[in-house]
Structures are given as C-alpha cells and as structure tokens.
Structure 1
Amino acid sequence: MSEPLPDVPALSNHTLRASRSNRVATPGYNRARLEPAIVHFGVGGFHRAHQEVYFDQLAELGFSQWGVIGVGIRRPQMRQVLDAQDNLFTVVERGADDSTAKIIGSMVEYLLLTEDRETVAARLADPRIRLVTLTITADGYVLPGDPEQARDSVFGLLVDAFDRRRHARLAPFTVLSCDNLPDSAAATREGVMTVAARRDRSLARWIEERVSFPGSMVDRITPATTPDDRDVVEEDFLVGDRWPVITEPFTQWVIEDDFCNDRPPLDRVGALFVDDVAPYKLIKSRLLNGAHCALGYVGWLAGHRCTYQAMADPLVADFVRRLMREEIAPLLPADVPGMDLGTYCDTVLERLRNPRIGDQLARLCRRGSTKMPDYLLPSLHDAHAQGRSRTRLAFAVAAWLRYLRGVDLEGEPIDVQDARAEELREAALRGGCDPSPLLAITDVFGGLADDTESVAVIRRSLSDAFRSGATLRSALASPPRGAPRVTASRPLEIHEHPRTHPRDHTAP
C-alpha cells in the first residue's frame, strides 16, 4: 500500500486521540487495559473484518480480558503497516446505499512468524492465553512428510506450547479453526495430533484428553483491499490507514460450544454457540459457496467480471436464484435453529447484488478442482441419489468444464488459476463437447460419470449452450433438461466426495 496523503494524519494511537472526525467510529475503551487472551494465526483481510470486529465489540461492552495477539504467517508488509499504526486498522462496511467505518483496537500485538518465532512460542506458553484461532488457509493444514519440517509448522508450534504448558502444570488453550474447510475442526485436531504422536505418545494422550478443537462456521464477504480503496477511506472518513479492510454489512459466526479453558462471551455480540456446527456449515457451503461457484463460471462466460455486474444481468440472476431455491435448498435440513432456508437464500442473493462490494468473478473461479467437489458437486450427487431435479446444477458443472479450456466464448484467453489447471485443460480440450475425459478424473468428479441424466445435460450444454454468448443467453433462459425422477424424500445422508486432504480456504 502507498503512503497516506499528507493532509490526512497517519493512523496511530496519537492521531486517534487527537482526531476530531465524526465520520468514523473509534474505540470507546482504554486499549492499554486490554489483556491478551487470544493468539490468532493468519492475519489477513478476512480475520480483520470478521473475528477482530467481534472482539472489538466485546471490548466496547467492557470485556477487557479478550485482547488479540495477531501472528502473520509470511507477509512482512502487514507487520510494517500495523507496527506503524499501533495495531489499529479501519473496517469499512459498504452497504448497497451507504458506508460506515470503525477503527478496530482489539489487536494488542502483531508478530511475524518468520521473524518472531521464539516470541510467538513464549506468548503461547503464557497462562493468560486461553484461545488460539486460525485462518491459515487450506494449505496450512497439509503437514510436510518430514517430521522436522512439520515441527516448524503452525501445528508444531501448538504442540510445543502444549508440551510446555503440560510440564508447567498449566491448563491448555482451546484451538478454534475459522477456515472455510468442510470439517476444519477435524483437520485441526488431525494436524496437532499427528505432530504430537510423532514426538511423544504421552503428550499426545494429554492433548487428546484435555484440549478442545471446536468447529465453527464463518461468513463475511471481504474483497482484497486496493490502493483506490485506501484513497477512498482517506477522502470519505479522513483516516490515514495504509491497509484498511473493505467488507459487507452481513457477518455470521457459529461456534461449537466446546471450550477447555474459558469461553469468550461472543454470544453477547452476535455469535451463536451451538452443540453441532455441521448443519450450519452444510447450509452455508452448499448455498453460498455453491452459488459462488456457479456464478463465477456462468457469469464469466456470460461476459461479466464482478459479482454485482453478473447479478444485474436478469438471466444470470434468475439462474442463480432458481439454482439455490429449486435445486440446492430442497436437499438441506429445514429444521436448523436460526437458519430459515428461504430467508437465507434471499440474504445471499441480496449480498451478491451489492454494487459496493466488487467481488471479482476471477476470485470465485480460482481453485475449482478443490471448490467444486466441496461445494457444488455434493448437491449434484445428492440430487441424483434422490431422483431430484438437477438441471441447473449440471449446467453449472458444464460451465466450469467449458471455462477449463482456457478460452472464453469470444476467443479471449482465460487465466485458469488451479493447482491442476494443466491436467484439467488437457482433458477439457481432448473431450471437447464430450465430458468423459474430465469425468474420468474421479478424485475430482467422484461418480458423476454414472449419473446419465446429468451427463446428458452437461454434454448438450457443451455442444449447444456454450457455442457463443447468444447461445449461452438462450440456454440461461431455458437450460437443457434431463429427465430426472422427482421424489418427495428428504436427504438421509450427505454425499460429500472424499478428499485426501483439505485444500481450500476462505472466506468468501
């Protein structure tokens, strides 16, 4: 990020106290009285727009014992900015009609793991630390095969801390993953236990018996901050923040009520504690993340580049709406407290239409070989198992297959960002209008090749709908149809395609 304009003071404790701007809310609590209780790994835009806001709100209510120590994984630029700003930053909520800004003060210290490893280890051993939270992205959960390299990972640090606390007869801390994984709690537990078992079986037993790894579901659309965003924050709110966060008004945090060492009263500021977070994650991943996948590929091929532009297209918007309401929602549990499916669909659609949150479709299209098996294909598999309508689900898959060729409907190149892009592109080009070469990649597509109705829709879509922009628009108005048998049964099981390891983050 560039330097603040000279007529707007750079954000810091000093300028915060001297500020007379009434355009931005500032911390109403004494930051010097905040006590560190949380260590968070992975300080990016999403963490600052989501978890930090909740802890800032706790501080506003007088809960000063839940300060956050942020640990960056690999970006020295974030450290430089936050050090200069006394760990203050601005969160701007952009609604469809107006924006509000709040300077967040809940972060009491920022450390960079690559430079401050020993300091991070000391903080984790501090008995005041009762909670560790993670947004380390999916790659952070993949342990190196080499035990020494694994010890250098985040999980290695946590195991070191548990060992120190065990020998000091201190209670452990809870480890709460806030990453967008199908089962982030299980992935976290597996990472910790694998490292611990390699080192000391008695330590592994101590962790197994005493440490909690609750699951969570997090949601808040947070696009990457641009230099233009920074300039707008300076102009509109008179804040010289070198790295503000831009986000939407909507936020959600559902947490499994399983803590081993005190629990922050996050329910006082809008979070929801539940016995089982799985149905909440299921609804969010299928409806929001699944819709994101479909919107990304269909919207891109229709010529759009941002979510709100695509949702301003009546044909694309109607496709996404009917996909969610008619094909995905009927597969989901309808009795989850606080999650009315109709209301949730309406909320997602409203969020996607927000013209002031310019989420790029290119971001939604990234890592399709991970996202599609996690978020959209499970709905297609469930619909097949139950004989339900799945025309739009199959059409969305066809859009992804067409996108994988690396050329759009106008002949312009597409930068396919996927760890398996070369393999998938070769299969897409080899198959042309025949999806068989791609569907043979079963660790991505599972048993989709056996779903003859969906394969027929995909094949017809590739041959007819995706020949040109005009044929795509015609198909969106009336997607190619199979002939699935519709029944009234409720889903009895969740058809999640098995993964060798979690590989996708997010926050949306």
Structure 2
Amino acid sequence: MSKRQNTPSEAVIQPLMTATLPDCLERIAVPTYDRTALRPGIVHLGVGNFHRAHQLAYLDALAARGLADDWGECGVSLHSAKLAEALAPQDLLYTLVERGADHDTGRIIGALTHYLYAPDDPQAVVQALAAPTTRIVTLTITKDGYDIDLVTGEFLPESDDVQIELADPDQHATVFGYLCDALAERRRAGRPPFTVLSCDNLQDSGGATRTALVAYARLRDAALADWIDAQVAFPSSMVDRITPQTTEEARALVATTFGIRDHWPVITEPFSQWIIEDTFCAGRPPLEEVGVQFVQDVMPYGKMKGRLLNASHSAIAYLGALLGYQSTSEVMRDPTMRAYSQHLLAEVRPLLPAVPGIDLTDYCQTLSERFANPHIGDPLTRLAARGSSKVPTFILPSITDALTQGRPHALLDLAIASWYHYLRGQDETGANIKVVDPLREELQNLVQQGGDDPRPFLRQANIFDSLSQNDDWMASVQAGIRSMTQRGVTATVAAYLADAAA
C-alpha cells in the first residue's frame, strides 16, 4: 500500500488503465504480477463495492505473492451495467482506498481479469460457470436474492423471478437459474462441480445456499437436484468490512490524493475479516496466506458479527435517522448515542457463546472505534433499509435468548421501538424519512393502524416468530415507543441508559 504525501496537480492526474500503471508507481501501490497469467478459477455473481473491497482485495494480495495463477476472477453484474461501463475503459482496474482515523492508504486492484454483464449475454455467464477452469462460484446477492423464508428457512418457489424461469428456462431472472444451467452442463459433460460460496450476511449461509439451489433444481430436474446435493460443496462464511457507496467526493479524493482518475473507486476501512468453513469440492486458493481464516465451524463467528455489528448498525441507524443524522460517524459523535451503542454491545455480549480466538470485549471495543471512524460514515439510509429481513436476523434472536436466559434486554427492545418509530416516516423535526423495505407498505399500514400501540405490528409472526405471542415483551416495546413520542429520542435513550447503569 502507499500513502500519498503530496497533492498532485491537475496536469499529472492520470486516467486509470494498464498503460498508465508505471506512471502511478510513485503515488500508489500497483499490481506487480502478470494479470494476463491469472486464469479465472473463480466466478463471482453480484459484483459491488463490498466485494471489491473484500474478496478481490484478498485475491489481489494473493496474486502479489505469486500464489494466484489459478485464482483470477471473472466478475458478473446481474442487474446494472453501470459498473461494467465504468471499469471497461480502465482494463477492470480500480483504486481501493483504506481510510483510517488519521491517514489514507491506497492500492490498485488487478485480480479482476474478466467481467460480464449478465442481461447482455446470459449464455456467456452460463459458459463461464461451466468452464473447466471454474472451481469456485462466490455470491454477494443480498438476503433477498436467496428466496428463503427467514423464519422457516424454506425456499420460496412462488417468487415472480422463479416462476418466470420455470415457465421458460431460457429466461434468466435468478442466480439459481444460472447455477442450475451451468451445473447441468458440467454434469452432462462428466465434469466435476464447483464449490458455491455465499459471502452474504446469512445465518448458516452455506446451508441456506444449499437449500435454495437444491430446492430450485428439484423444480426443474430431480436427478440434477440429487447430484447437486451430493456433489456440490456449500461452505459457510463470515465477511466483514464496512464499505460505503462510492460518491463524487470519493472520486475527487482519489484524484487529488493519488493522482488517478478512477470512474468507480472503492473507499473502505482498514479493518477486514473473512472466515470460511474449510469445505471445498474442487480445491481452493491458499487465502490463509493473506489473512483469511479457515475453520471447521463458522457459526460462532457469524453469530458474533451479526448480533454485535449488524444489530448495532440497525439500532443506531433507526435512532440516528429519527434525530436527523445521516451517517454512523455523525451518530457516534453524539455522546448519548455513542453510549447507547456501547451499552447495547454490552447487553448482547453475554448472550453469545465463546468464539475461538476472539476476545469479545476487545471485539466490541474495536466495533465502537470502527463506527466512530470519521472518514467511513456509513449512510444510515443503507443500514436502515430492509429492516423486515435485518431485524429478524440480527436483533430478535438476542431478545429471544435474553428472555430465555433471564438477562436484560431493554436496550434491544428500544431498538425495536426505534424501528417502529422510524416506520412512521418522519424524524423528530417532521422531515420525511424514505423507508426502503420490500414490506414497506404493509408495515407502515400496521404502524399507522396501531399508533402508540405496536401490537398489530408485533403480532406479525413472519417477522417476530414466537415473540409475536409474548405480551410482556410487547409491553416493553410499547413503553419505548410511548417514551419517544412523549419525551423525544435523546431523553428516552438517556433514561434507558440510566436504568441500565442502576
């Protein structure tokens, strides 16, 4: 990595492409390996900023050590052509900037060697997946892309996209359609399957991916479904790196700091973590050489991250949005909100099992520091989106465990109260909040119907599961809602913190 010392003049700002890499050497780390020698052993479905800050950064570090000749990557965009259009003139190179509290470091990532935009040529995607060189397929398609019921864990075949493909298999609307077509071709050719590795925030991501793909395949070809279930490996993983969306300010930062004109750079934090279940059916890259941890059981790590980082992100997103804040760093500059975040972590921490190699107290301290990073202000709009899938995954299990174990859960309940308040669609000043959620209309109707009585909302078993029948717990959430309505968010949070300290 390189740290920029002097601001370049406009005259020396270079467009990013292979031909200009030698001119960038004094200002930033660039790939020193032969990119043309990298064979695409990995196909990634769902290329976005997080993936480029995370998996591709690890693969780039591996290539820099001469350990990735068989592990270049073919990236696939599923829904938007914008990234493909931005990266094509840059020879698929891009700038990754790690912004710490007191300095920035940057490097050019070169591990992405092929790129496809799926709607332009679906068959090219199938062929890339079916190619003998492809040994791992990785996914970042968000929870919604799996068509899994979050309560039952079952596949939902009635989704519109699945039905489109079942009616006409030549129409590609889901990731699982692509995977089934490619695996069917490999099976017909007597070729071994690839490993499917989910890099999304899912509990038991490997199990969820197996459930979805096998169930989908069974709707089309029972024999193929049996072969996939028996032959394909589905390791679980836990991924972590806070990565905001790219802004014009980010592009300007790269230009003025490193002298590079990059159409779509990635800004991220210095922290990065990737833990993978060591279960592969076609080999894997030696990512342990660059900091990836391979384990037999990912569950404790995923639970730690989901219930501490993701749950806290959701909670401070709702509270912060109600106060008119825009980013996590703004929220953490508010002493009351920062104290709430820290105490919420302390409330959840005793509910977690031991995590091998991790001190949970230190982990929570690191989270507080990461949230407060003034240069990685994660937008609250992003963190608050899709609450109907995030809250049941990251917050409600801790509440259920706390009730079972007789432990405190008031700050967790306040997080649910703040989500309810957020769904009203206005902050404390009366400014409108744009709620983004696949169930937005349904949830907002329930909130409007209930007013300060959340019971119609909380009785939705598809979200709250067994808690939807717990009247005492509902009363606790209702108390938080009424307090915020009557006293305001800050006074309510302060009162809850005082009670927690008593």
Same fold, TM-score > 0.5, yes or no: yes
Selected match of 2:238 from 217, 225, 231: 217
AA aligned to 1:207 is I
AA aligned to 2:478 is R
Selected match of 1:145 from 156, 163, 174: 163
Post-superposition shift, 1:6?
7.3
How far apart are the structure 2 equivalents of 1:70 and 1:223?
20
Structure 2 residue 350 is the aligned partner of structure 1 residue 330: yes
* Residue pair 2:76, 2:117 contacting (<8 A) in 1 also: yes
How far apart are the structure 2 equivalents of 1:161 and 1:420?
33
How far apart are the structure 2 equivalents of 1:36 and 1:273?
22
What SS does structure 1 have at the residue aligned with 2:419?
helix
Per-residue CA deviation, residues 187-211 of structure 1 (Å, 9 max, x unaligned), is 3212321233233333222222211
What SS does structure 2 have at the residue aligned with 1:305?
coil
AA aligned to 1:421 is R
**Match runs of 1:349-388 below 5 Å:** 349-388=368-407
Structure 2 residue 73 is the aligned partner of structure 1 residue 68: yes
What SS does structure 1 have at the residue aligned with 2:496?
coil
Selected match of 2:124 from 119, 127, 136: 119
* Range moving further from structure 2, 75-84 or 216-225: 75-84
Over aligned residue pairs, what C-alpha RMSD do you find?
Answer: 1.9
Gaps of 5+ in 1: 484-508
Higher fraction of helix: 2
Structure 2 residue 439 is the aligned partner of structure 1 residue 439: no
Q: Which residue of 1 aligns with 2:7?
A: none
Structure 2 residue 127 is the aligned partner of structure 1 residue 107: no
What SS does structure 2 have at the residue aligned with 1:479?
helix
**Match runs of 1:5-404 below 5 Å:** 8-17=13-22, 19-63=23-67, 64-142=69-147, 144-146=162-164, 147-148=166-167, 152=172, 153-325=174-346, 327-334=347-354, 336-404=355-423
What SS does structure 2 have at the residue aligned with 1:114?
helix
* Residue pair 1:92, 1:102 contacting (<8 A) in 2 also: yes
What SS does structure 1 have at the residue aligned with 2:144?
helix
Per-residue CA deviation, residues 164-213 of structure 1 (Å, 9 max, x unaligned), is 22222222111111111223212321232123323333322222221101
What SS does structure 2 have at the residue aligned with 1:253?
strand
What SS does structure 2 have at the residue aligned with 1:337?
coil
How far apart are the structure 2 equivalents of 1:6 and 1:71?
35
What SS does structure 1 have at the residue aligned with 2:108?
strand
Q: Which residue of 1 aligns with 2:153?
A: none
Q: Which residue of 2 aligns with 1:500?
A: none
* Residue pair 1:89, 1:244 contacting (<8 A) in 2 also: yes
Per-residue CA deviation, residues 413-464 of structure 1 (Å, 9 max, x unaligned), is 2211122222222222222222212112221222335444433332222222
How far apart are the structure 2 equivalents of 1:183 and 1:149?
31
How far apart are the structure 1 equivalents of 2:20 and 2:63?
20
* Residue pair 1:23, 1:237 contacting (<8 A) in 2 also: yes
Post-superposition shift, 1:163?
2.0
Post-superposition shift, 1:218?
0.6
How far apart are the structure 2 equivalents of 1:457 and 1:205?
47
Structure 2 residue 490 is the aligned partner of structure 1 residue 473: yes
Q: How many corresponding residue pairs?
A: 474
AA aligned to 2:397 is P
- Change in 2 beyond 3 A, CA 1:460/1:242: same
**Match runs of 1:428-507 below 5 Å:** 428-468=447-487, 471-479=488-496
How far apart are the structure 1 equivalents of 2:195 and 2:136?
5
How far apart are the structure 1 equivalents of 2:344 and 2:169?
42
How far apart are the structure 1 equivalents of 2:335 and 2:274?
31
Per-residue CA deviation, residues 386-437 of structure 1 (Å, 9 max, x unaligned), is 1111111111111111111112222222211122222222222222222212
Gaps of 5+ in 2: 1-9, 148-156
- Change in 2 beyond 3 A, CA 1:429/1:120: closer
Per-residue CA deviation, residues 118-152 of structure 1 (Å, 9 max, x unaligned), is 22222222211111111122232225134145662
Post-superposition shift, 1:20?
4.3
How far apart are the structure 1 equivalents of 2:403 and 2:357?
28
* Residue pair 2:400, 2:467 contacting (<8 A) in 1 also: yes
* Residue pair 1:21, 1:237 contacting (<8 A) in 2 also: no
AA aligned to 1:411 is G
AA aligned to 1:32 is T
Post-superposition shift, 1:473?
2.3
* Residue pair 1:253, 1:271 contacting (<8 A) in 2 also: yes
Q: Which residue of 2 aligns with 1:498?
A: none
* Range moving further from structure 2, 93-102 or 110-119: 110-119
How far apart are the structure 1 equivalents of 2:222 and 2:489?
59
- Change in 2 beyond 3 A, CA 1:315/1:399: same
TM-score, normalised to structure 2's length? Answer: 0.90
* Residue pair 2:24, 2:30 contacting (<8 A) in 1 also: no
* Residue pair 1:26, 1:104 contacting (<8 A) in 2 also: yes
- Change in 2 beyond 3 A, CA 1:15/1:181: same
- Change in 2 beyond 3 A, CA 1:432/1:201: closer
Per-residue CA deviation, residues 210-247 of structure 1 (Å, 9 max, x unaligned), is 11011111111110001121011111011111000011
